Amino acid sequence: MERLDGPPVGDPSLAGIARLREKLRLSTPLIAVYDARPSDAFEPLVRAGGTACCFSYYGRWLAGETLVLERDHGGCPGAHRALGLEKQYPPYMAHFLTDGAGAPKGEGLRASPEIAQAILDAAHPPEITADTVLIGPLLLGQWETVKSVTFFVDPDRLAAVMTLAGYWSATDVAYAPFGSGCSFLRRALDGGPDERAVVGATDIAMRRYLPRDILTLTVGPTHFAKMLTVPEDSFLYRSWWNDLLDVRNRGRTS
């Protein structure tokens, strides 16, 4: 794994988060994936039921609730694999993504089962220590269990957080892979550099659960903490960034 350039980064602070949210004029919450068991610290909790997509709980995240996914219990089976609760895909999965032969349905997302199988073979589930994965608002008191932090943003703010994610890098760090929406929340970070930033919410099946202008950017916890240290001579403090937000705001009120 490559290290992030720059001085050592400590744990994030509420003041640092508030500073970044203010510069982004961000109204949506920061959402974290936790390798943890449910406890009072994460209340209010909502347990996944049926086979619902984890993004169907987006409104619950906005309300401050934390989603509990538990091995061998409710929730989308794809999320269980993408987040490490299960290790294997069903044998029909390559056909599920393509022609539907022998699968519950075919999604037509790749040209052939062989292509889909190659993608599946490269998709290694993340390691977890508990039999649950939690997804919900970022809680600094639970920082040691945070595995990723996700921004839910419109295209303007996506441009900003992508730029910020690569602020200290000489190479591009943003990565827009193929996969399920839940895979972008953690699995897509694994196997890459510490500074990888994953552009997500591009899974057609889960788009219905988000506002039409919302995409995501997910980073690892160390990377997120580094982003909070952006200096005051960066683009976030320049007039042209604020001018863009002012123009958008005038457009909404005119």
pTM of this prediction? 0.92
The tally of domains found in the chain comes to: 1
Q: Does residue 106 form part of some domain?
A: no
DSSP string of 108-141? Answer: --SS-HHHHHHHHHT-PPPP-SSSEEEEEE--GG
How far does CA 9 lie from the centroid of its chain? 21
Q: Does residue 30 form part of some domain?
A: yes
Q: Does residue 179 form part of some domain?
A: yes
Pairing verdict, β 132-137 and 146-153: unpaired
Q: Does residue 62 form part of some domain?
A: yes
3-state SS assignment for residue 43: coil
Q: Does residue 117 form part of some domain?
A: no
Q: Does residue 90 form part of some domain?
A: no
Q: Does residue 168 form part of some domain?
A: yes
Q: Which two tokens stand for residue 18?
A: 């508030």
Q: Cβ-count burial of 212 within 10 angstroms (0-12 exposed, 13-18 middle, 19+ buried)?
A: exposed
What string of pLDDT tens digits covers the 254 residues of the chain? 344 555 557 889 999 999 999 999 999 999 999 999 999 999 999 999 888 999 999 999 999 999 999 998 878 888 899 999 988 888 899 999 999 999 899 999 999 999 999 999 988 889 999 899 999 999 999 999 999 999 999 999 999 999 999 999 999 999 999 999 999 999 998 877 678 999 999 999 999 999 999 999 999 999 999 999 999 999 999 999 999 999 998 877 54
The domain containing residue 155 runs over which residues?
Answer: 14-72+133-253
Q: Does residue 151 form part of some domain?
A: yes
